[in-house]
Amino acid sequence: MPTFAAIDVGSNSCRLKIAKVVAHQLKTLHEDREVTRLGSSVFDTGLVSPEAMAATLRALKRFQRAVQAHAADQIRVVATSAMRDARNGPAFQAWVKAETGWNLEIISGLEEGRLIHHGVMGSEAGVGGRVLLLDLGGGSCEITLSEHKRIKETVSLPLGAVRLTEEFLAADPPPEEGLAQMRQFIARELRRAHRRIQPANVSLVIATSGTAAALAEAWAASGKANKAVGKAAKNLRGVASTRRVLSPTMAGVVPAGEVRKMASRIARMTLPEREAVPGIGPRRAEIIVAGAQVYAELLETFALPGFRYSPLGLRDGILAQMLAAQDARAASHKEFEYERWQSVLATARRYGVDPHHSEPIRAHALQLFHDLKALHQLPPEYEAWLAAAAVLRDTGKFINHQGHHRHTQYIISSSEIYGYTPVQRTVVSAIARYLGKSRPQPGDRALRNIPADEHKHVHRAVVLLRLALALNQDRASDVLRVAAKIYPKRVYLELRPGRTGAELELWSLRKESDYFREVFGRELFATLA
């Protein structure tokens, strides 16, 4: 069974989680965490400091030894807010690549929120209805509204604990003026989020990451948690409705009022006093004031009763996505594929493309993918990428009909499409790019960020999509049926014409014969059955 490793390079800390697939589920083998403060200088100067780079790289090298010890088959390393903002981010990516061989992937705030949702909702038992997920990291805060375990809306706000501390809370204890300015900034960002996130009828608020863990542990250590549970249990005695019986979920909720009290109390403390608070500790004490204020303001702005801490997070979402992408029998596979395809369709509609018009082309592309598998020998993941390229191939017309294939490549590679890494989006964009007169060339911009060993696969996928387009020249006619036959030196495509014939499609297919021979080394013949 495969073993996966997920590494989250955050603005405050780096986290590693290694899991093995057992009976189509993930079993955790190893976890590690190191506070590196990668974003400590970014939010002030716009640059990652050499010291933060070195500290992060030391952590990654330690993680690499663990990954090698567990013989991980697949590793994914992602970076978040600090690297999104850093002007010298590419230099650090190159350094990581040179020292570890890993590709450090920078993901957007929205993708971060989606992966966190995937990790939490895929592993939390008994969670349903409308749920709000809160993830407060070092550089950003992701807020996700989930309904029946599907994302309704996600926003990413610049409210990370390290970012706010660097900008507003330079002195210790924090000055009142800085606290007031920070609260105003937090309130403004939350008002912007509230216009998109409508948390009415939310049944549960789940908070992840270090600040939530510190606040939950500090509240539990104060003794008020046990009193709150006892009071709730007393109030529920004699209640007939099983839906109102006290549950572990209810018992673990930190009330909003207590969060406000803790935030106010912590803000008056010095650093040594904060370090002594149970659950906070030395490194978290440096940024807990800002983090606690964000949680207090957020719960009040959204009129939420409190939050429940979950130890799950981004790395769990990365692992869940890796499992879902490779194991069709995993419980999360269908959900992952559904959400990914819905994101493709939403992107098409955003740029004025009706996915219904692309359906015959997509269907023919997938048929050719299966019928010619012995010939093209593409990896299985290209099936989904080919389908996405078929639907998104005309998005460039949103910018300009002239040269729209180039515009399509830019739109796809730059868009937020859930479930696709930047490299995967670039592959999809390259497949959709070469549907006109041009052919893929090694130095092309569309291929620049694609690994060299993938170029031949892109060529072959482009040919399949071009053939699917050739089979759908006359949109007014009914869809043609086609059968493919592979021989040692030639390939036959036999067409069963519709009511309006197939002359245009035959001509279009014959135009592709030269490119087909160039890529596959065989002659292409199109005939009527």
Cis ω on the peptide bond leading into residue 173 (within 30° of 0)?
A: yes
State how far Cα 247 lies from the chain centre: 31
> Which CATH number is associated with domain 332-528?
1.10.3210.10
Task: Give the right CATH number for 124-311 from 3.30.1330.10, 1.10.1660.10, 3.30.420.150, 3.40.50.720.
Answer: 3.30.420.150
438 phi and psi angles, rounded to 5 deg: -80, 160
Q: CA separation (Å) from 178 to 1, 46, 171, 271, 289?
A: 53, 21, 9, 16, 11
Same fold, 124-311 and 332-528: no
Mean pLDDT by 10 residues, the chain (529 residues): 95 96 94 93 92 96 97 96 94 96 92 91 77 94 91 92 93 92 96 88 91 93 60 39 33 88 95 92 91 96 94 94 86 84 95 93 96 96 96 96 93 90 92 91 86 93 96 73 94 86 89 95 92
Which strand ranges, in their side-by-side order, compose the sheet holding 490-496?
481-486, 490-496, 523-528
Rounded Cα gap, residues 248 and 261, in angstroms: 23
Q: Is the C-alpha dihedral spanning 390, 392, 397, 399 positive or negative?
A: negative
Rounded Cα gap, residues 94 and 103, in angstroms: 8
Output the six-digit token pair for 497.
């014409």
Single-letter code of the amino acid located at 35:
V
* Strand residues in 363-470 grouped as ranges (E): none
Which strand ranges, in their side-by-side order, compose the sheet holding 130-136?
150-157, 141-147, 130-136, 204-208, 306-309, 253-255
- In the block, which residue shows the tokens 């499609």? 505
Closest residue by Cα to residue 228 from 253, 205, 206: 253
Rounded Cα gap, residues 317 and 380, in angstroms: 22
- The confidence score (pLDDT) of residue 246 equals 30
- The confidence score (pLDDT) of residue 122 equals 80
Residue 328: how many other CB atoms lie within 10 Å? 11
Output the six-digit token pair for 407.
């515009």
Output the six-digit token pair for 150.
């599907």
Rounded Cα gap, residues 245 and 253, in angstroms: 15
Is 0.85 surpassed by the pTM of this model?
Answer: no
- The confidence score (pLDDT) of residue 229 equals 40
- The confidence score (pLDDT) of residue 126 equals 64
Helix, strand, coil: what percent of the chain each, to 5? 50, 15, 30
* Strand residues in 277-421 grouped as ranges (E): 306-309
Closest residue by Cα to residue 255 from 205, 187, 201: 205
Rounded Cα gap, residues 274 and 506, in angstroms: 76
Q: Which H helix or E strand runs over 92?
A: helix 89-100
Residue 347: how many other CB atoms lie within 10 Å? 21
Q: Which residues have C-beta within 8 Å of that of residue 483, sequence separation ≥ 6?
A: 371, 493, 494, 496, 529
Domain borders along the chain are 3-107+317-322, 124-311, 332-528
Is 300 strand, coil or helix?
A: helix
Rounded Cα gap, residues 443 and 441, in angstroms: 6
CATH architecture of the domain formed by 3-107+317-322: 2-Layer Sandwich (3.30)
